[in-house]
Structure 1
């Protein structure tokens, strides 16, 4: 990667991507961040990153512009850039902001790739869903994938609607696993373990199970069957999950998340268009 990259917004996800790029060999001097928060500016300056609070100035020499701001300020951030963008690739990591909304706020500018990242990017273990309209070149797709791959897995989807599904599965997904961890830790405590022991066993088990699933040729379903001995302890637990329809409830929960993701995009567009 040899492009000049500008981030509009220097929060946690931007900082995670920046750390990944630098770790992959991109010189810090090729990265510019525009953010109004003095503490963020100082933190980034310490890494030899170019820092400003002027968005137009920040994108002037950029090849790639990553939009990493809160959805509610998207209009005030993008509208002044409508006449400033020339031929930069714009990568959006803003939740709930469809490409059509970007185009309307940017006066028709359409060299845009949309990404749904997730928070494990902060530990270089993200899972990112990407979408680009058909007219976006393969070269631009490759650049977008390279930017996101610095912090984890990149998966392309073939329709923007599927970004809502990505949001439900991986965007919100870390919280589901944290929820299960919470429950397992509490169960361990209920069974007589102290919190430190229950936590350590739960977290290491989660890590180990994920590593097995990633590295095994078997599916998660087969791995589950492999450790479920007939009439054993695991079978007793799985039968209880089935009795309470845990799988069905998880699927319903993700469907609710997908539906909410779609409605948030509509609400954001309505809110920004009324201002």
Structure 2
């Protein structure tokens, strides 16, 4: 899908300016938005100065100043969100498009605290967004218009790919697969690299082999897979042959029930997301 040109007159504000918020700021600027059209609220003068030096944005310590923007992105830690929202004019905030990248907190929490008319978009990005290779899940609340969705898409197109889910529960599915997913792949790469070292390679060489193999495999999979599990199996079959070396590794995975291990891990991640969400709806 062709990216939509950014509206140069539009203004974005970030309450919280950590790594993910900074990735989004950089993405907006790469698309042609003037840094002066971005407001970022930070906790300290030092962090504001660093942010301005890095991006040229307007950095402040007063969250209320963010209400001058058209869209507000909430990017604070979950445990301070309620205090942050209690300190600003929630009536005015309710008139804005609010985009949240805060994991685990359901839309009901925002509606209860800010107001039922709130236009809310929940995002679940992942860390590859830092290098413009992210995968973000997005859910638009019931009050959002088509224009609101387009605004969110414009924000996201600077950091990678986006998948819109039809129900809010879908965000928890996304979290378990792609939101937390980078850690799964880091861990698998680490295991491969450590075994390579045990076999006699240097750890550096083993890690390089594992990382480049993961990168190339992902690129090939992206080009050739079509959403059909049979196609992915055919890619596996291209590498394995009866009586060969690779089939021995695959058979070991199957004997040790790797599929069940992965299933249990992702389920645990999903269940934890549900538990976190429940603490904000009681």
TM-score surpassing 0.5? yes
Q: Is residue 5 from structure 1 mapped to residue 12 from structure 2 by the alignment?
A: yes
Q: If the length of structure 2 is used for normalisation, what is the TM-score?
A: 0.92
Once the two structures are TM-superposed, the CA of residue 13 in structure 1 deviates from its matched residue by 0.5
Residues 144-195 of structure 1: per-residue CA shift (max 9 Å, x gap): 1111121011000011011111110011000000110110001101111111
Q: 2:73–2:100: 8 Å Cα contact kept in structure 1?
A: yes
Contact 1:124 1:152 in 2 (8 A): yes
**Corresponding position: 1:235 with 2:247:** yes
- In structure 2, the partner of 1:36 is 43
Corresponding position: 1:16 with 2:17:
no
> What residue is the counterpart of 1:26 in the other structure?
33
Q: What's 1:116 paired with?
A: 124
1:59 to partner: Cα distance: 1.6
2:85 to 78, 81, 90: 78
Contact 1:9 / 1:35 at 8 angstroms: preserved in 2? yes
Alignment match of 1:148 (pick from 156, 175, 184): 156
RMSD over aligned CA atoms reads 1.4
Structure 2 unpaired stretches of 5+: 1-5
8 Å CA contact 1:11–1:40 kept in 2: the answer is: no
1:130 to 121, 124, 138: 138
- Tell me the CA shift for residue 132 of structure 1: 1.2
| 1:131 and 1:159 in contact (8 A); partners too | yes
Specify the alignment match of 1:222 in structure 2.
234
Distance in 1 (CA, whole Å) between partners of 2:281 and 2:211 is 39
Q: How does 1:236-275 map to 2 (within 5 A)?
A: 236-270=248-282
User: Runs of 5+ in structure 1 lacking a partner?
Assistant: 271-275
Match of 1:273 in 2: none
What pairs up with 1:87-106 in 2 under 5 angstroms?
Answer: 87-106=95-114
Q: Residue 217 of structure 2 corresponds to which residue in structure 1?
A: 209
Q: What is the TM-score of this pair, normalised by structure 1?
A: 0.94
- 1:80-113 deviation per Cα after TM superposition (whole angstroms, max 9, x unaligned): 3312325321101001111110111213342111
Measure how far apart 1:74 and its partner are. Answer: 0.6
Quote how far apart the aligned CAs of 1:77 are.
1.1
Deviation at 1:116, TM superposition (A): 0.8
Does the aligned pair in 1 maintain the 2:97–2:118 contact within 8 Å?
Answer: no
Displacement of 1:253: 1.0
d(CA) in 1 for partners of 2:250, 2:93: 55
* Structure 2 CA distance for aligned equivalents of residues 255 and 141 of structure 1: 29
CA distance in 1 between counterparts of 2:94 and 2:112 reads 16
2:93 is paired with a residue of what secondary structure? coil
SS at match of 2:186: helix
Does the 8 A contact of 2:94 with 2:115 survive in 1?
Answer: no
How far residue 134 of structure 1 moved from its aligned partner, in angstroms, is 3.5
Question: Counterpart in 1 of 2:3?
Answer: none
CA distance in 1, matches of 2:169, 2:246: 38
